[in-house]
Amino acid sequence: MLRKLTLSLLLMAGSAAAVLAHHGWGSYDASKPITVTGPIETSKYENPHATITVKAADKVWTVTLAPVSRMQSRGAPPELVAVGKTVAAYGYPSTVEKDEIRAERITVDGKTVEMR
């Protein structure tokens, strides 16, 4: 019985950690869409979401993209968001993290990819 209780508690703690590790989309302001345009300075093509940093005219932005599986299924392989490419990312600014947006769509090399 003690083993079952211990196992149950461990599973619940693990589930809670997984939920906390994935942020919700409520921390982005959909009423203030912006477009960030510039060269990609860094690119992380990994889960839970691919991310890039973009050197825009005003500052460097962190752009949260889609999960890798969605990026691939929509025709956005790692090469599309490679360092040095110019991107236009349309999305919503974070209300929590300064200089971060959640991209709804990106355009690179004339190709537009929907993220959501």
Closest CA to 103 of 79, 78, 73, 81: 81
Residue in this structure with the two tokens 């993209």, named with its chain if needed: 65
> Where residue 98 sits, what CATH number does that domain have?
2.40.50.1010
pLDDT > 80? residue 14 = no
Closest CA to 80 of 94, 62, 66: 66
pLDDT > 60? residue 20 = no
**Tokens at residue 15, please?**
């589930």
The amino acid at residue 112 is: T
pLDDT > 80? residue 24 = no
Q: Is residue 69 part of a domain?
A: yes
Host domain of residue 79: 25-114
Q: CA 87 to CA 112: how far, in whole Å?
A: 10
Dump pLDDT digits (tens) for 54-66. Answer: 999 999 999 999 9
What is the structure's pLDDT at 26? 79
Q: Is residue 12 part of a domain?
A: no
Q: Is residue 17 part of a domain?
A: no
Q: Is residue 85 part of a domain?
A: yes
CA dist 88 → 18, 22, 35, 60 (Å): 31, 25, 6, 13
Q: CA 57 to CA 16: how far, in whole Å?
A: 40
| Number of structural domains the chain divides into | 1
